[in-house]
A and B are shown apart, each in its own frame.
Chain A
Amino acid sequence: MSSIGKSGETVQIADLAKDRMDTYRVPPIPFMRKARPYLILAPALLLTIGILIPFFISIYYSFTNYSFKYKDYSFVGLENWTLMLKDPSFWHSVWVTGQYAIFSTGAEMLLGIGVALLLNQETRLAKALRMVLIFPLMIAPVIATLIWQLMTNNSVGVIAHFLRSVGIDNFVWGADPKTAMFSVVLIDVWVYTPFVIVLVLAGLRSLPKAPFESAMVDGGSAWFTFKTLTLPMIKPLLVIALLFRTMISLQEFSIIFALTRGGPGDTLMSLSLTAYNEAFTYKELGTALPYMLILWIFVYIVSHYMIRYWSRAQKNASGS
Chain B
Amino acid sequence: MGNTNPFSKLLKNAALLLYALFALFPLFWMILISFKHDREMFNTVFLFHPTLENYKVLFSSNEYIGYFLNNVYVSVGAVLVSIVVGVPAAYALARFDFKGKENLAFTFLSFRFAPELLVILPLFLIYQKIGLYDTYFGLIWVYQLISLPFIIWILRGYFEDISPEVEHAGRVDGYSWWRVFLKIIMPLIKPGLVAAALLSFIFVWNNFTFALLLAGQGVITTTVASLKYISSDTVHYGQMAAAVTISALPEVILALLIQKHLVRGLSMGAVKG
Question: Interface on A for B, CB 8 Å cutoff?
Answer: 36-37, 40-41, 43-44, 47-48, 50-51, 54-55, 57-58, 61, 111, 114-115, 117-119, 121, 123, 125-126, 129, 131-151, 153, 155-156, 158, 161, 190, 193-195, 198-199, 202-203, 206, 216, 222, 225, 236-237, 240, 244, 247-248, 250-251, 253-254, 257-258, 272, 275-276, 279-280, 285, 288-289, 292-293, 295-296, 299-300, 303-304, 307, 310, 314
Q: Which B residues touch A150, using CB under 8 A?
A: 30, 33, 237, 240-241
Give chain B nearest CB distance to A302 CB in angstroms. Answer: 9
Enumerate B136-166 residues with CB–CB distance to A below 8 Å: 141, 144-145, 148, 152
Is the Cβ of A236 less than 8 Å from the Cβ of B270?
yes
Give chain B nearest CB distance to A254 CB in angstroms. Answer: 4
Is the Cβ of B271 less than 8 Å from the Cβ of A199?
yes
28 A-B pairs whose Cβ atoms sit less than 8 Å apart in the complex: A40-B96, A41-B88, A41-B89, A41-B92, A44-B85, A51-B145, A118-B19, A123-B9, A132-B24, A134-B262, A137-B255, A138-B206, A142-B223, A143-B226, A147-B27, A195-B266, A198-B266, A202-B273, A222-B2, A237-B267, A253-B117, A258-B230, A276-B117, A279-B117, A289-B121, A303-B110, A304-B106, A314-B270
Is the Cβ of B16 less than 8 Å from the Cβ of A118?
yes
Q: A40-B96, A54-B126, A57-B122 are in contact. List 19 more A-B contacts (CB 8 A).
A: A36-B177, A43-B88, A48-B104, A54-B119, A55-B118, A58-B121, A117-B1, A118-B12, A123-B13, A125-B17, A134-B262, A138-B251, A140-B223, A142-B206, A146-B244, A240-B268, A254-B208, A258-B227, A307-B109
Residue B113 is within 8 A (CB to CB) of chain A in the complex? yes
Give chain A nearest CB distance to B170 CB in angstroms. Answer: 15
Q: Which B residues touch A275, using CB under 8 A?
A: 117-118, 121
Q: Tell me the bound Cα distance from A65 to B86 in angstroms.
A: 38
Residue B22 is within 8 A (CB to CB) of chain A in the complex? yes
- Contact among B26, B113, B118 with A247 in the assembled complex (CB-CB below 8 Å): B113
Is the Cβ of A125 less than 8 Å from the Cβ of B116?
no
Is the Cβ of A138 less than 8 Å from the Cβ of B202?
yes
Q: Which B residues touch A237, using CB under 8 A?
A: 267, 270-271
Question: Interface on B for A, CB 8 Å cutoff?
Answer: 1-3, 9, 12-13, 15-17, 19-20, 22-24, 26-27, 29-30, 33, 41-42, 45, 84-86, 88-89, 91-92, 96, 98, 104, 106-119, 121-126, 141, 144-145, 148, 152, 177, 202, 205-209, 213, 223, 226-227, 229-230, 237, 240-241, 244, 247-248, 251-252, 254-256, 259, 262-263, 266-268, 270-271, 273
- Contact among A146, A240, A293, A296 with B230 in the assembled complex (CB-CB below 8 Å): A146
Q: Which A residues touch B262, using CB under 8 A?
A: 134, 198
Is the Cβ of A300 less than 8 Å from the Cβ of B110?
yes
Given contacts A131-B256, A158-B45, contact A251 B115 (CB under 8 A): yes
Q: Which A residues touch B263, using CB under 8 A?
A: 198-199, 202
Interchain residue pairs A-B with the least CB separation, the first 4:
A44-B89, A140-B206, A251-B115, A292-B118
Q: Tell me the bound Cα distance from A137 to B248 in angstroms.
A: 11
Give chain B nearest CB distance to A11 CB in angstroms. Answer: 26
Q: Tell me the bound Cα distance from A121 to B23 in angstroms.
A: 19
Q: Which A residues touch B45, using CB under 8 A?
A: 158, 161
- Residue of A whose beta carbon sits closest to that of B224: A142
Given contacts A58-B122, A139-B206, A285-B121, contact A147 B26 (CB under 8 A): yes
Q: Which A residues touch B88, using CB under 8 A?
A: 40-41, 43-44
Given contacts A43-B88, A44-B92, A292-B118, contact A139 B230 (CB under 8 A): no
- Contact among A142, A244, A314 with B227 in the assembled complex (CB-CB below 8 Å): A142
Is the Cβ of A199 less than 8 Å from the Cβ of B267?
yes
Is the Cβ of A51 less than 8 Å from the Cβ of B117?
no
Q: Which A residues touch B240, using CB under 8 A?
A: 146, 150
Q: Which A residues touch B213, using CB under 8 A?
A: 276, 280
Q: Tell me the bound Cα distance from A48 to B104 in angstroms.
A: 9
Given contacts A146-B226, A147-B244, contact A138 B252 (CB under 8 A): yes
Q: Tell me the bound Cα distance from A257 to B23 in angstroms.
A: 22
Q: Tell me the bound Cα distance from A56 to B33 in angstroms.
A: 48
Is the Cβ of A148 less than 8 Å from the Cβ of B26?
yes
Is the Cβ of B23 less than 8 Å from the Cβ of A190?
yes
Q: Tell me the bound Cα distance from A186 to B42 in angstroms.
A: 25
Given contacts A147-B244, A237-B267, A299-B115, contact A40 B91 (CB under 8 A): yes
Q: Which B residues touch A125, using CB under 8 A?
A: 13, 16-17
Is the Cβ of A202 less than 8 Å from the Cβ of B230?
no
Q: Which A residues touch B29, using CB under 8 A?
A: 151, 158
Is the Cβ of B16 less than 8 Å from the Cβ of A115?
yes
Q: Which A residues touch B12, using CB under 8 A?
A: 118, 121
Given contacts A139-B251, A150-B237, contact A272 B116 (CB under 8 A): yes
- Contact among B89, B117, B148 with A292 in the assembled complex (CB-CB below 8 Å): B117
Q: Which B residues touch A193, using CB under 8 A?
A: 23
Most buried by B among A48, A146, A314: A146
Q: Which B residues touch A296, using CB under 8 A?
A: 114-115, 118
Is the Cβ of B108 less than 8 Å from the Cβ of A48?
yes
Is the Cβ of A133 less than 8 Å from the Cβ of B271?
no
Q: Tell me the bound Cα distance from A251 to B116 in angstroms.
A: 7
- Residue of B whose beta carbon sits closest to that of A196: B266
Q: Tell me the bound Cα distance from A42 to B8 in angstroms.
A: 58
